[in-house]
Amino acid sequence: MLNRRQCVAALAAGLSAQPPQKFVVGFAPEMGGEGTEPRWWRACDECRRLGFRFVETNNTPLKLVEIYESKPALFKERMAQRNLTMAGFALATPMIEPARRREVIEGNLRVARFLKAIGGSYITHLFASESNPTVVGQKLPKNIIREGFKHFAATANQLGKRMLEETGIRIALHAEKGAVRAGVCDPIMDATDPRYFHFWADIGHLAGGGVDPLALLRKYRSRLIGTHLKDWDPNLETEFGGKREKGSFVMLGKGVVDFPGIIAYLLSTGFDGFNMVELRAQPDPTEEMKDYLTRRLGLRL
């Protein structure tokens, strides 16, 4: 039996034996569809208090780009006052609709130019279509199965090339659980150019979609630019969009995801991208969350 001092020493030795952490650990305040700019800044204040230095959010409902597009220096200054950097934005645009290709490319480039001005790095792109904007079920409309991935890839490749060359910002597929269940990840990654279109692993959504997150990390490691760290409990029920559904996102360490294994893999492969903690409708980080990241996983914020 080890005494308390020996246990602490053993734990410290184990953590120090880990490869160096090259990746960022940040927080993505989840505003939901009713997020407001004042609420965003309050979430940023809480991120600063707990020691996070990088944040991300979904610009589609919050529209920070539209608010600050003409005054990026002001936005950057307000972030700097909180010792924060906006790492990236999530977007939902109809990349799968060929008739709207020009609109989609210009809209994403608009966000990329703003990100470049404020020191950001990436856009995560939610799989969406005009006919099925959130892919909440397990099947895709036949037109998407037949032609949609080809259309998506044509737009994504053109956009990704321009974005990288003009701004240095990268774009990646961010599949939520309905899209994961519908099987969009492999067809889209197969159809897109790895030089210009990348992969973003939302750990909770992958688990909720019935996929082993670590297996997909391994498969697309060469194209991985970041993850959303969230846990998944398949036995809890939750309500979303007025509907009851089986399974729920939960606090890190409370579900079935093997975070120690995932972090060990990312450390061992020298991953130098972003790991952004995110929970559904959770605008503020918590002390419990920080404790799990820093003490249980041995990570640096």
- The 10 Å CB-count burial string (b at 16+, else e) for 163-197 is bbeebebbbbbbbbbbbbbbbbbebbbebbeeebb
Q: Give the model's pLDDT for residue 137.
A: 45
pLDDT digits (tens, 9 = 90+) for 6-33: 554 555 555 557 799 999 999 999 876 6
pLDDT of 135 higher than 80: no
Query: Which residue reads 């991120």 in tokens?
Result: 47
139 band by pLDDT with thresholds 50, 70 and 90 = low
CB-based contact 78:47 (threshold 8 Å): no
Name 152's Cβ contacts closer than 8 Å, sequence gap at least 6.
Answer: 95, 96, 127, 188, 191, 192
pLDDT greater at residue 179 or residue 270: 270
More confident residue, 182 or 1: 182
Please give the pLDDT value at position 246. 86
The per-residue pLDDT for 239 is: 73
Q: What is the mean pLDDT of residues 271-295?
A: 94
Cβ neighbours around 108 below 10 Å, total: 24
The pTM of the full predicted model, rounded to 2 decimals, is 0.89
Helix (H, G, I), strand (E, B) or coil at 214: helix
Mean pLDDT along residues 161-183: 94
Q: Which CATH architecture has domain 20-296?
A: Alpha-Beta Barrel (3.20)
**Type and span of the H or E element at 226:** strand 224-229
| Whether residue 116 has pLDDT greater than 80 | yes
Between CA 115 and CA 110 the distance in angstroms is 9
